[in-house]
Amino acid sequence: MRTRIWALVALLLAFGSAAHAQEASIIGTAVDETRAVLAGVSVIATDQASGRQLSAMTNARGEYRLLNVPPGTYALQAEIAGFATVILLDIELLVGQNATIPLTMKLAFELLEKCGLPPGVANIVNGGKSVVDMLIDHPDVKAISFVGSTPVARYVYARAGEHGKRAQCQGGAKNHVIVLPDADMKMTTQIIGDSAFGCAGQRCLAVSVAVTIGEAQKTFRDSITEAAASLRVGNGLDEGVQMGPVISPQSKARVESLIATGQKQGAKILLDGRNSRIPKGETGNFVKPTILDGVPATSDLTETEIFGPVLSMVHANDLDEALAFLERSPYGNQASLFTSSGAAARRFRYDAPAGNVGINIGVAAPMAYFPFSGWKDSFFGIMHAQGRDAVEFYTEKKIVVERWAKDHSRKF
């Protein structure tokens, strides 16, 4: 059984990380690194629940319960990345069925069943806010893990704190990328385009704001606009399609409303994806790639997580000014720098005000054996998701002091 579980863990880690890495070579490394993270860990605690509409679970001894609330979008990757650690810690898993994407978790559980996971280890449950509140308040639930918007993350964290419970609550994001003039502009355009418009911009690490420096203002602006305009939008199951719809009619309306807000507040629309007409997709929730240039620092778009295929552009005279712009953001989920300068990269690694930092990377998502390290209003708590932080969060420590002397003495 242990061999089968390790095979399942390899699959889960590969599946969870492939959303960003897409390389089969990570499987062996993932298993090796996860073993290293878990080496010497004595599990006394455990239990998890997942899904936006949730519940909780307990291990066989019932010593510890963890409530886990994942996001409504990008839920599969967010969940799979945590499955491996939970299973390795011998945790029974209770996953909430998300009403927006009910087939996603159904597919995931079908795969778990095919892998030979014993009955009862992973389970699905339905519910809403009242269920979450009840579980947060329940004395048998000892910890809460959440992924979602900042207002809800703050609410869950505060409610957990009222009961003295540990919580890790991952909130919203406004991810910035700085483009220096010495960057390889062709490759930079491809990578940032994939980050901003991949998954129709509906992921917590999608680039949302590009800060250009010096001559990069014109060169990057022109290249990213041309690249975004050439993307084929349509049914994701059709061959050749590069970007699909947003998740719902409500999301489409919200994204288009924010584009209009940015325009009213002074931004220039270089590429407008509103009111898109997609062949055979007239009733779909399609918003084509949109680029707004010269977004004012006071605009709502500099702080609002759009969660759609919209890239805002601002300009800075130097790296100091660009970093100061990032520092003013209330979020600190991800920040990336595109450059060919080692000195600039070194400075950015230390000074970027974000927990996940990338150099020439569009989606700076850590592999599942590293912590997912959001800062500022992107995270509430101490121990982050994934890696050793996750092990620390899912377990409790016990220190045992013993002495087997023949005679009692005050000497040691």
Average pLDDT, the chain: 81
How far is residue 272's CA from residue 270's CA, in Å, rounded to a whole number?
A: 7
Q: Is 201 exposed, middle or buried (0-12, 13-18, 19+ CB in 10 A)?
A: buried
Q: pLDDT tens, 388-398?
A: 898 888 888 88
Domain with CATH 3.40.309.10 in the chain: 175-359
Q: pLDDT tens, 31-82?
A: 333 333 333 332 222 233 333 333 333 333 333 445 555 565 555 666 666 6
Q: What are the strands, taking DSSP E only, across 173-254?
A: 175-179, 207-213
3-state secondary structure 265-280: CCCEEEECCCCCCCCC
Tell me the catalytic residues: 204
Average pLDDT in the 285-314 region?
A: 95
**Whole-number pLDDT of residue 393:** 87
Domain with CATH 3.40.605.10 in the chain: 2-171+378-394
CATH code for the part of the protein at 2-171+378-394: 3.40.605.10
Q: What are the strands, taking DSSP E only, across 91-152?
A: 93-96, 122-125, 143-147
Q: pLDDT tens, 242-251?
A: 999 999 999 9
**Whole-number pLDDT of residue 349:** 97
The pTM (predicted TM-score) of the whole model is 0.81
For domain 175-359, the CATH class is alpha beta
Residue 54 is which amino acid? Answer: L
